[in-house]
């Protein structure tokens, strides 16, 4: 078994939260639109998840069988326990629920791939086959923000990303990060904004109460990148303005942050950063 997977999962969580300034998110300088959280909350939360990622690695390594959805649901049971540990560590703050879902899938799949010599994204697609149908179409009791948005807008959110093997990460974010230049801070901030150009962030939709907010975010993120990103003064000013608007409107880019976390994880695993 490869313990580096667990280590890189934890590194990914910490790399994301210490990167600043991130609009609509917690970083070392600001709690953003999350008054119940700060950088220390995220550190405590990250460390509380070490056993979960170790469990994910073990599940991926030991799973035997052709139906990888069974591996996913085995992982999901561990995720329920991990959420309880997270809430205990954060005194009830939801710091990493989305990351528990996404990063758990990646850690488990990566472990499976190391042993079986299979391709990561194909493995994830096999793990999450039928997930939207299972969770959203057949689920008549809509509880989470993602479930409610599926009912209202037909947006599959994190589950659709998983079932489609994370096309935003596979086709956009990971190649972008791999080919990016500059300081790690610049590369990660620019990757976050690149993710924002192509993502229907369910956290943002929930905060805004309007699906059209996604168009606004995509326009702002594209503008930032066209200005040269964080490597330029113009890009830095644009990011600061976007951050101020997120604070004023109580907008959070939590979904984009979750996708950045898994992008960082793969980049660490592949030696891109």
Residues 219-260 pLDDT 10s: 999 999 999 999 999 999 999 999 999 999 999 999 999 999
Tell me the CA end-to-end span of the chain in Å, nearest whole number: 23
Beta strands in 10-159 (DSSP E): none
Q: What is the dihedral of CA 168, 172, 178, 184, to 10 degrees?
A: -70
CA distances from 49 to 3, 17, 45, 79, 100 (A): 14, 15, 7, 9, 8
pTM above 0.85, yes or no: yes
Residuewise pLDDT in 10s, the chain (273 residues):
568 999 999 999 999 999 999 999 999 999 989 999 999 999 999 999 999 999 999 999 999 999 999 999 999 999 999 999 999 999 999 999 999 999 999 999 999 999 999 999 999 999 999 998 877 665 554 555 555 544 554 456 789 899 999 999 999 999 999 999 999 999 999 999 999 999 999 999 999 999 999 999 999 999 999 999 999 999 999 999 999 999 999 999 999 999 999 999 999 999 999
Residues 49-86 pLDDT 10s: 999 999 999 999 999 999 999 999 999 999 999 999 99
CA 103 to chain centre: 7
**Could you give all domains of the chain from N- to C-terminal order, each with its CATH number?**
4-270 (1.10.4200.10)
CA distances from 130 to 103, 162, 168 (A): 19, 10, 19
Q: How crowded is the C-beta side of 35, counted as CA atoms within 13 Å?
A: 2
Distance (Å, whole) CA 117 – CA 181: 30
CB atoms within 10 A of CB 270: 11
CA angle 38, 42, 45 (to 5 degrees): 135
């Amino acid at each position: 078994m490869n313990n580096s997977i667990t280590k890189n999962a934890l590194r990914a969580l910490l790399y994301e939260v210490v990167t600043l300034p991130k609009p609509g998110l917690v970083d070392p300088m600001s709690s953003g639109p999350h008054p119940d959280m700060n950088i220390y909350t995220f550190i405590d939360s990250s460390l509380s998840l070490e056993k979960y990622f170790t469990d994910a690695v073990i599940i991926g390594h030991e799973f035997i069988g052709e139906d990888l959805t069974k591996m996913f649901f085995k992982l999901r049971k561990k995720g329920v326990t991990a959420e309880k540990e997270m809430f205990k560590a954060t005194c009830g703050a939801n710091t990493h629920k989305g990351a528990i879902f996404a990063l758990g899938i990646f850690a488990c799949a990566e472990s499976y791939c190391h042993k079986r010599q299979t391709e990561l994204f194909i493995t994830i697609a096999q793990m999450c086959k039928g997930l939207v149908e299972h969770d959203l179409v057949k689920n008549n009791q809509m509880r989470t923000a993602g479930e409610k948005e599926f009912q209202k807008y037909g947006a599959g959110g994190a589950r659709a990303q998983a079932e489609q093997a994370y096309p935003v990460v596979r086709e956009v974010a990971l190649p972008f990060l791999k080919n990016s230049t500059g300081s790690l801070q610049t590369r990660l901030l620019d990757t976050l904004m690149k993710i924002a150009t192509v993502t229907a962030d369910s956290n943002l939709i929930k905060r805004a109460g309007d699906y059209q907010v996604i168009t606004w975010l995509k326009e702002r993120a594209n503008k930032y990148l066209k200005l040269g990103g964080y490597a330029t003064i113009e890009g830095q000013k644009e990011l600061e303005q976007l951050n101020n608007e997120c604070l004023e409107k109580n907008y959070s880019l939590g979904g984009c942050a979750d996708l950045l976390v898994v992008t960082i994880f793969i980049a660490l695993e592949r030696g891109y950063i």
